[in-house]
Amino acid sequence: MGSLDGKVAFITGVARGQGRAHAVRLATEGADIIGIDICADLESMDYPNASVEDLSETKRLVEATGRRMVARQADVRYYDQVEAAFNEGVAEFGRIDIVLANAGVIRLASEANPQLEWDEILGTNLTGVWNACRVSIPKMIEGGNGGSIVMTSSTAGLKAPATMLAGGQAYSASKHGMVGLMRTWARELAQYSIRVNTIHPTGVVSGMTMNETMQAMMADPEALTASMQNALPIEILQADDISDFVEFLVSERGRYITGQTLGVDAGFLVR
């Protein structure tokens, strides 16, 4: 028996990286998955987003565990798209127990269009989290089974970078903003046994970090990324490292944890 038998999880940014790893881990533990991803590039970003083929591969990996998945292309910035995909999944599976508001983007390279960079990063990283939670919470309350919401923030949501770049400012603001949303909902939803937490990973292997733009910046001693180093002797984590913690947090083992900002950061925050 798995730790999540009979549960249903809604995951944003599910096509690759942490989202895919979380979907497969939770499915391995017995959960069915409702998953969405934009599967399209954003104009202001300087690296490619996941593809439709990536989303199909996540679905294949989930179903290889023996669980089911409703996988849909949707942009978390737009409530109606998130709602439509979520409702389709709930109609299929009949319940919702877990929400992983995971979709996120970043731009650390030099500015090209600061206003657009600000809007797209805030829209994805913060409005997208609000949308995912707002469509899910009423159904979670209605179900009467409690639940767990985990928002993927960042070390930048607790320890702001020093930068004049719109991309870095927007990223930090969005990840800090998530903490405010989490604390608000944690207080309000405790009466329904719904737990809400943020996790704050350090660098994780994903399409966001493993691309030509980011690799060039990591090699530049003058770039903002040069100061992004962990205390423990490991350069970057794997997505599965974060999934280990997420699975614990959304399971019965994490049943008394709510309203917390939880670092999975290899000591980044203590440097």
Query: Which among 47, 78, 79, 171 is annotated as catalytic?
Result: 171
Question: Which residues have CB under 8 Å from 64's CB, separation 6+?
Answer: none
Q: Active site includes 47?
A: no
Q: Residue 41: name the closest of 29, 51, 32 by CA.
A: 51
Burial 39-55 (b: 16+ CB within 10 A, else e): beebebbbbebbbeebb
Query: What span, in angstroms and rounded, lies between the C-alpha atoms of 249 and 197?
Result: 9
Burial class (CB within 10 angstroms; exposed 0-12, middle 13-18, buried 19+) of 170: buried
Which residue's entry shows tokens 């600000």?
118
Pairing of strands 147-152, 69-73: unpaired
Q: Residue 26: name the closest of 110, 100, 119 by CA.
A: 100
Alpha helix ranges (H) inside 146-255: 166-189, 212-218, 239-250
Say how many Å lie between the first and final Cα of the chain, rounded.
Answer: 40
> Which positions are catalytic?
171
